[in-house]
Structure 1
Amino acid sequence: MSWIDALPDAAKTYLEQNRLDEVECVIGDLPGIARGKAVPAAKWEKQEYFHLPESIFFQTITGDWGEAAGPTGFTEPDMFLRPDLSTATAAPWTTDGTLQVIHDAYRTNGEPIGFSPRNVLKHVLAKYKEQGWTPVVAPEMEFFLVARNTDPAMKIEPMMGRTGRPVAGRQAYSMTAVDDFGPVIDDIYEYAEIQGFEIDGITQEGGAGQLEINLLHGDPVKLADEVFFFKRLIKEAALKHDCFATFMAKPIEGEPGSAMHIHHSVLDENGKNIFTADDGSETPEFMHFIGGLQQNLPNVIAVMAPYVNSYRRYVRDHAAPINLEWGRDNRTTGIRVPLSDPAARRVENRLAGMDCNPYLCIAASLACGYLGMMNATKPGEIYAGDAYDGEDDIPQGLYAALDLFDEATDIHDIMGHDFSRVYSIVKRTEYNEFLQVISPWEREHLLLNV
């Protein structure tokens, strides 16, 4: 079977040890949910593509639909979904031999679907390629392990640790706290190894039951694929141990939120970091990338913080940035320059929430840096001290963030106008859905008092 020759080594090893029964043909929608079809292995070997309606990209997180079909109306035409065999990876939690394969979306004329998130990221990378640049990114994934929550009316609680007590917060970097999740982490490591993913490290974060997984730096599409796969992997490992993994930006009252910090550098055609000059000093491109983030991040916050819950994370003195200041080795700033040797000089965007779609978030962050370098945007003065003492720069809620996004035509040029149109419509539909829900706070304080 010649298609096996195109698989990554980890997938080949898996197939040597497991009889292939099924292939999951998947594609990430706007929220980053895996959509697709499960296909018997015998059929998979014969097919070059499959179809899904393009309307999967018009769905909100609740499963409702935004009126984003365009002038032709809601006819739900099919897309051609073609496999990228380099993404093939095992689904090790299944009882039979199963591969997952990410697909790319095209129209019947071969044109990429502009509002497919993986295509959006590729569109941004093409802009870099035109300049002879290759971006490199490294995402950091924060998430919570929580007790099973089967009633949405109940508050989310931390999971029960191996000690028999609910895990506690305020234990950042504690090895003992990490050990509390030992069985879940063991399965995360095992699943990742079977799937061919390399984890750079796992640490305990500041929240109760909050962990962080760091991934090695590399190609933006490959890393976005891995984050997409990791979200499912981690959820499956948690379920095996009678708890939930959640990537909500702010799942527990009074605890820190979960971010997806993104480290960026850019290579030239010779593989040299353009942020570093021959003498080891910082280049204008480095400063302009920072300037681009400062100037343009407000316009893409709606992509990096895509839900009403996302904005609960931006709370002063609660481990998330509240402004667009930049600093060196300063975790209170929204834009951080980590300690590194000159060859590894990079910029960290600390604003994005872990509830983001990884393709769209990385695309948006790179678009901001690209505009900065193309426009020679100078950053503001470096911030010294605690940036929580500074002024708020983050839009106060999703609706305000969408207004900024709609006005940012230069961002639309980089990420794609078709995507920008569809994204705004779907997110505004989702916000209107949220407005129909009455919260416990409203019942508690308004029912009898107003």
Structure 2
Amino acid sequence: MDDNWIASLPEAAQAYLEGRRLDEVECVIADLPGIARGKAVPASKFARQSKFHLPNSIFFQTITGDWGDAAGEEGFIEPDMILKPDMSTATAAPWTGDWTLQVIHDAYDRKDNPIPFAPRNVLKRVVDLYHKQGWRPVVAPEMEFYLVARNLDPAKPIEPMMGRSGRPAAARQAYSMTAVDEFGPVIDDIYDFAEAQGFEIDGITQEGGAGQLEINLRHGNPIKLADEVFYFKRLIREAALRHDCFATFMAKPIGDEPGSAMHIHHSILDLETGKNIFTGPQGGETDAFYNFIGGLQHHLPQVIPLLAPYVNSYRRYVKDHAAPINLEWGRDNRTTGIRVPISDPASRRIENRVAGMDCNPYLGIAASLAAGYLGLMREERAEKQFRGDAYEGDGDFPRTLGEALGEMDEAEGIAEVLGKEFCRVYSIVKRTEYEEFLQVISPWEREHLLLNV
């Protein structure tokens, strides 16, 4: 590492450290669920190292801590990966007791090849495919989440947090500023942490659920935005803990409340001209616009396990509960799975409303871009625009994790785009997780089946 590495840090990180002594650096990488794995090292040691090592088995672990049998032909020998820092991702960890930076790392094997099942590498692979066609994908994610009361007993239902007024957060107050004020202290810390980390929040709104908020991020590079969502999940959790509540990104934490989505807005720019390929010379919609929608309609069912990665994810897709049940597309229509928001021609974009907030941001964005890419390359035409309430139609994508994994396993085009080795490992790990879930007997089963069947 260069002796002047601190001087070359991103502006926000330098501002955070101005006049202070850096104590520690957290070297992190996202695993399949999007959990930060890595090591914390003294700043002096980080300055002397250009890489560090972690076993590749971190990508074979389920959300419960069990292991999928995904190691491949060599067996479960846990070889070390080489993790190299991407210093452009260096950012503050402002909730710590000392002066700490976080740095996202990329994973390579001993021959310096990217590890194919590392989520950030999967997204890089998809973005590179766009670049080879002369395109630059642009995304803007929206993050929905709940602030809930501390829940220390898994058998107890999740409840909304206590608001500033001393009353539990009320539901069905979408866009209410009074409702936002209820969480003022938590939101203040979210803003402060985000500013210290150099993140620009486009806005915070109250959503339709009790204690449910949404944060919008400005559009930009898919890898940079996925990094920010990865960082934001930790940032928001830390802000909530300061105020005796939990932040949860579960897709459906409370039974009678709407689920939490990570809506993804897409546009594609021509690398040479910088112009939006969804818009023609006269401001009209292009074939590429309809092909991208067609790709989402044809291929999103094949990547649902990346957009809805847990059994809980499928509880979100409930008719009339602010989540799509099909892949119809419409203009400014929030009942459809694919929405075209109001915009001027230069900023024309397509919104994927299927992804849940529980998805790994790297994999969710990669999956959405992969579906659109196949539509562009195969010139797949969008179905006729839907008009009216799409909830009146039928569902047209998998409704259980097991069914979704079956569709993904058969999708050869998606495997080519995301990488066959990634799809193999992901499927094995998720099937292991699904089998774990099927061994758990739920309260519903005990209540209704114990004495009635």
How far did residue 282 of structure 1 move? 0.7
Is there any run of 5+ residues in structure 2 with no aligned partner, and where? none
Q: In structure 1, which of residues 175, 179, 182 is the aligned counterpart of residue 181 of structure 2?
A: 179
Three-state SS of the structure 2 residue aligned to 1:105 is strand
How far did residue 4 of structure 1 move? 1.6
How far did residue 6 of structure 1 move? 2.7
Residue 322 of structure 1 aligns with which residue? 325
Three-state SS of the structure 2 residue aligned to 1:331 is coil
How far did residue 394 of structure 1 move? 2.2
Residue 234 of structure 1 aligns with which residue? 236
Q: In structure 2, which of residues 352, 364, 367 is the aligned counterpart of residue 364 of structure 1?
A: 367
Separation (CA, whole Å) in 2 of partners of 1:442 and 1:17? 60
How far did residue 286 of structure 1 move? 0.5
Residue 35 of structure 1 aligns with which residue? 37
How far did residue 80 of structure 1 move? 0.2
Residue 386 of structure 1 aligns with which residue? 389
Separation (CA, whole Å) in 1 of partners of 2:446 and 2:164? 37
Please tell me whether the aligned partners of residues 6 and 86 of structure 1 are also in contact (alpha carbons under 8 angstroms).
no
Separation (CA, whole Å) in 2 of partners of 1:202 and 1:411? 34
Q: In structure 2, which of residues 92, 114, 117 is the aligned counterpart of residue 115 of structure 1?
A: 117
How many residue pairs end up in the alignment?
Answer: 450
How far did residue 435 of structure 1 move? 1.0
Percent of matched pairs sharing the same residue: 74
2:395 paired with 1:429: no
Aligned residue identity for 1:41 = A
Please tell me whether the aligned partners of residues 53 and 78 of structure 1 are also in contact (alpha carbons under 8 angstroms).
yes
Report which stretch shifted further, 436-445 or 107-116.
Answer: 436-445
Pairs within 5 Å for 1:243-282? 243-269=245-271, 270-282=273-285
> Which TM-score applies when normalising by structure 2?
0.99
Residue 295 of structure 2 aligns with which residue? 292
Separation (CA, whole Å) in 1 of partners of 2:332 and 2:231? 30
Three-state SS of the structure 1 residue aligned to 2:23 is strand
2:420 paired with 1:417: yes
Residue 217 of structure 2 aligns with which residue? 215
Aligned residue identity for 1:362 = I
Question: RMSD in angstroms over aligned alpha carbons?
Answer: 0.6
Q: Residue deviations 1:47-72, cap 9 Å, x none?
A: 00000000000000001100000010
Separation (CA, whole Å) in 2 of partners of 1:188 and 1:5? 27
Please tell me whether the aligned partners of residues 24 and 101 of structure 1 are also in contact (alpha carbons under 8 angstroms).
yes
Separation (CA, whole Å) in 1 of partners of 2:442 and 2:198? 43
2:398 paired with 1:395: yes
Separation (CA, whole Å) in 1 of partners of 2:290 and 2:169? 42
Separation (CA, whole Å) in 1 of partners of 2:81 and 2:19? 34
How far did residue 5 of structure 1 move? 3.0
Please tell me whether the aligned partners of residues 313 and 320 of structure 1 are also in contact (alpha carbons under 8 angstroms).
yes
2:139 paired with 1:137: yes
Report which stretch shifted further, 78-87 or 265-274.
Answer: 265-274
How far did residue 438 of structure 1 move? 1.0
Separation (CA, whole Å) in 2 of partners of 1:162 and 1:132? 51
Three-state SS of the structure 2 residue aligned to 1:260 is coil
For residues 17 and 319 of structure 1, do their structure 2 counterparts lie closer, same or farther at Cα, with a shift above 3 Å needed?
Answer: farther
Please tell me whether the aligned partners of residues 314 and 320 of structure 1 are also in contact (alpha carbons under 8 angstroms).
yes
How far did residue 17 of structure 1 move? 4.0
